[in-house]
Amino acid sequence: MDLEHRVLRISKQVQRVGGELYEDTTKSGRARPVPLPLICLAALRWHRMRQTEAARLKGEELSPSSYVFTTRTDRPIDPQNINRSFFRITAAAGLRRIRLHDARYGCATLLTAAGIAPRFVMELLGHSQLSITMGVYTHVTSDTQREAISHTDRLLRRRVDRK
């Protein structure tokens, strides 16, 4: 995590297989940079400061490649526990129950609806092909569809008016 340059590098994943947690490379086998929004920086800086202090109290030094979030014993968090926490947070916020992974769908949809270039959305989500991003993760909202049709109507009206 490089808070100075507002980037998080995803280089590993933790999975549960046969009841055991194990660390593996990402699907692509490469580290992937993820730009961090400003809204995240203060919380991440505070969290990193707490981690650094906890390591100092143990007489250790926090490695720049350390996990961002760990258990109390500095082990990677079980993905099932992350999902349970996400379910609690969304319920407390009065939102319907979705999987954390579904938040990726929402992110891709919002970015696409905001006019962000599909290639950027693809890279942000770590997909190898644009067709995956556009076909699986983006769900065009009805507002976006109506806006596209209105735009088409305006373009066609201009052509008819010119004749």
Question: Cβ(42)–Cβ(33) under 8 Å?
Answer: no
Average pLDDT, the chain: 85
Strand segments, DSSP code E, in 1-112 are 7-10, 12-17, 20-25, 32-35
State pLDDT tens for residues 12-69.
888 888 888 888 888 888 888 889 999 999 999 999 999 889 889 989 888 766 788 8
Instruction: Kindly tell me the sign of the dihedral angle through the C-alpha atoms of 146, 151, 152, 154.
Output: positive
Q: What is the pLDDT of residues 65-118, one digit of tens each?
A: 678 888 888 788 888 899 999 999 999 999 989 888 888 888 888 888 788 888
Read off the pTM: 0.67
